[in-house]
Amino acid sequence: MLVSWEVIARTFFATTTGWVNDVSEYMMGFIAFGGAAYALAEGAHVGVDLVVTRVPPAVRGVLAWIADVAVLAIVALLCWLSAQFWWEAFETGERSWGLFTIELWVAYSFFMLGMFWLLVVHLVEMVNRRRASAA
The verdict on residue 10 lying in a domain is: no
**Domains in the chain, number:** 1
The verdict on residue 18 lying in a domain is: no
The verdict on residue 116 lying in a domain is: yes
Cβ neighbours for 13, distance < 8 A, ≥ 6 positions apart: none
Q: Which of 34, 49, 9, 26 has the alpha carbon at shortest distance from 96?
A: 26
The verdict on residue 48 lying in a domain is: yes
Percent pLDDT > 70 in the chain is 100
Radius of gyration of the chain (CA): 20
Kindly report the length of the chain: 135
Predicted pLDDT of residue 44: 86
Q: What is the mean pLDDT of residues 49-59?
A: 88
Nearest 10 degrees: Cα torsion 93, 94, 96, 98: 90
User: What pTM was computed for the model?
Assistant: 0.80
Domain that holds residue 59: 34-134
The verdict on residue 74 lying in a domain is: yes
The verdict on residue 28 lying in a domain is: no
Give pLDDT tens digits for 10-32: 889 888 877 888 888 888 888 99
Alpha-carbon distance of 72 to 55, in angstroms, equals 23
The verdict on residue 9 lying in a domain is: no
The alpha carbon of 100 is separated from its chain's Cα centroid by a whole number of angstroms, namely 24
The verdict on residue 114 lying in a domain is: yes
